[in-house]
Amino acid sequence: MSALVLDGKALAKKTEEELSQRVAALKEKSGGQTPILATILVGADPASATYVKMKGNACARIGMGSLKVEMSDKTTTEELLAKIDELNSNEHIHGILLQHPVPPQIDERACFDAIALEKDVDGVTCLGFGRMSMDEEAYGCATPKGIMRLLEAYNIELSGKHAVVVGRSPILGKPMSMMMLGANATVTICHSRTQNLAGHIKQADVIVGAVGKPEFIKAEWIKDGAVVIDAGYHPGGVGDIELGPLVDRVAAYTPVPGGVGPMTINTLIYQSVDSGEKKMG
């Protein structure tokens, strides 16, 4: 059978067109104001700088503003907290992104949690995670929320299905599990130390690879007709799942690249526009 390709790149492009219209309407109604996303980059990590630039470019494509904050690799926790507090207090800023990772001398968790809930458009605070888990209003963590939006766009039903999430990171595996539970899936959370991992994965109607190791999850572990979500990306253009042998026997899959990746930045921008509408509308 021919599997359905869950094309995140195409969905992100379509969403940007819709967001452009929403930003234009907001601009007209507010006398020229647009939502603004503040991005904080601490240090000079090239990959982080590239990600921040991509996020700024995405803002520009839909006509919303971005404020780039760059801080040195000698920045202290106290200095970063002060900057976040300043952005929290700025009524013209609607979303705050602290680019991960920060230099080792900084308490990253304390800085994430200093971001005001209504500006936590990347979904990284403990408060946001707790509220999301309890089905209260909060912005979802960008990658898992992007996956949920992708599944919804392609009408992939989760209710009653057995989802296996391989990975337990605070910004991907854990929130992914809670979101799927909220969509009435039965969720098993596995990780790199799970015993009989293959056995768990063989039971999955929906498998999410979020373990951070290239092709760690083998094609032979995945049953025919499953939905395969690969949230990994590694050199050579491979993800966390061995996708090649699966494309002719699963129901649907996310390609690598072009599946989950584009939805992460798109969700960040989507939630920033939503925050701007709530504040300005």
> What DSSP string describes 192-219?
TT-TTHHHHHHT-SEEEE-SSSTT-B-G
Is 31-120's fold the same as 142-260's? yes
Consecutive sets of 10 residues in the chain, 281 residues long: mean pLDDT of each?
93 98 95 96 95 96 98 98 98 97 97 98 98 97 98 98 97 97 98 95 98 96 98 94 96 97 97 96 76
Could you say which of 7, 83, 99, 240 is catalytic?
Answer: 99
The pairing of beta strand 4-5 with beta strand 36-42? unpaired
Q: What is the pLDDT of residues 115-129, one digit of tens each?
A: 999 999 999 999 999
What are the boundaries of each domain within the chain? Answer: 31-120, 142-260
230 noted as active-site residue: no
* Architecture of the domain delimited by 142-260: 3-Layer(aba) Sandwich (3.40)
Q: Which CATH number fits domain 31-120: 3.60.15.10, 3.40.50.10860, 3.30.200.190, 3.40.50.150?
A: 3.40.50.10860
55 noted as active-site residue: yes
Q: Using alpha carbons, list the distances in angstroms from residue 166 to 22, 43, 130, 186.
A: 36, 31, 21, 14
33 noted as active-site residue: no
Cα separation, 272 vs 266, whole angstroms? 10
Q: What is the pLDDT of residues 39-91, one digit of tens each?
A: 999 999 999 999 999 999 999 999 999 999 999 999 999 999 999 999 999 99
Could you say which of 7, 55, 119, 274 is catalytic?
Answer: 55
Side chain identity at residue 231, one-letter code? A
Helix extents (H) in 105-160:
108-113, 126-133, 142-153
